[in-house]
Chains A and B, each alone.
Chain A
């Protein structure tokens, strides 16, 4: 290592990782870069080795870059699109939606039942001739099934 040849270069010990980083284009420290260049100038065998490494990188890219530029396979894109269904939050949301739908159905059913029982009561209330006290006595029949409503009418 005759690095004294370049007088301006500060004494930076060149290590294997410096050489590798140089070959990989990762050596951005100018002092180290200068030291590596000086070292390679002085060591032709090492320079040849590092050149081979640089060529390896080129070759690997030449060999596999075509894969990078291939159009993406449909099944991978579909996988990403489908991804939403596999997500836990989504799954939770789906469960929640299911529960909500169930509740809605139950509520609708209850309302429907309510409507059936309410209607006769409404007709009862609408009876113009009924006295103010009468609807109160009819009221218990509201909660009862349709047959009982007939009975409610009978009360009047």
Chain B
């Protein structure tokens, strides 16, 4: 009995909890990343805050399930994106219950959910925020992961749960749509200034 205890690697009785504390620590370090992404992904700050909070609650609840398959950042972003998608579906359902409009196809639906264009103070910044909000959610989700987090395309594929080819096409379309919106916007602005 006395010889047995010394051969095993040190594994204290409270080991699972220590690991969970470590995971909590890792999660805490990702909060600024999650908040920045959510702020850009959501329609407003309160929705962004809700997203991050829901995501963190789920992460804490499920942190014992994180088995170091990939980065904790990827795991958290995956959860945040799913929360966002589920929330969006819920919102659409709520809206369609309120507004009895039969023309409810995906694209029209999304256009209807877009905020109206904001005023032109802080011109360039709001330009981009507006343009991003006018992108389809899936395209915005992809382009922001790359632009804000500097993620590789296969990381993005893992988070959004799509093939890399789909990442490529979403990015490509998002980039071009943003460019078109911005050139149009800039043209309008310079016309107004000439007057």
Chain A interface residues toward B at CB < 8 A: 16-17, 20-21, 23-26, 49, 52-53, 56-57, 59-65, 67-70, 72-73, 75-77, 79-80, 83-84, 86-90
Contacts and interface: CB of A to CB of B under 8 A. Distances in A.
Interface residues on chain B, size class: 35 or more
B64 interface: yes
A151 to B, nearest CB: 48
Task: Give 3 nearest A-B pairs by CB, closest first.
Answer: A83-B60, A60-B147, A68-B36
A76 B125 CA distance: 28
Contact of A26 (B52, B153, B178): B153
Interface stretch (B25-33, B76-84, B95-103, B108-116): B25-33
A68 B60 contact: no
Interface of B: 16-17, 20-21, 24, 27-28, 31-33, 35-37, 39-40, 49, 52-53, 56-57, 60-61, 63-64, 124-125, 128-129, 132, 143-144, 146-148, 150, 152-153, 168, 171-172, 175-176, 178-179, 182
A80 B64 contact: no
B66 to A, nearest CB: 12
A88 B150 contact: no
Contacts of B64: 87-89
The A interface is mostly helix, strand or loop, or mixed, namely helix
A84 B27 CA distance: 13
Contact of B17 (A60, A61, A90): A90
A52 B60 contact: no
B27 A60 contact: no
A40 B57 CA distance: 46
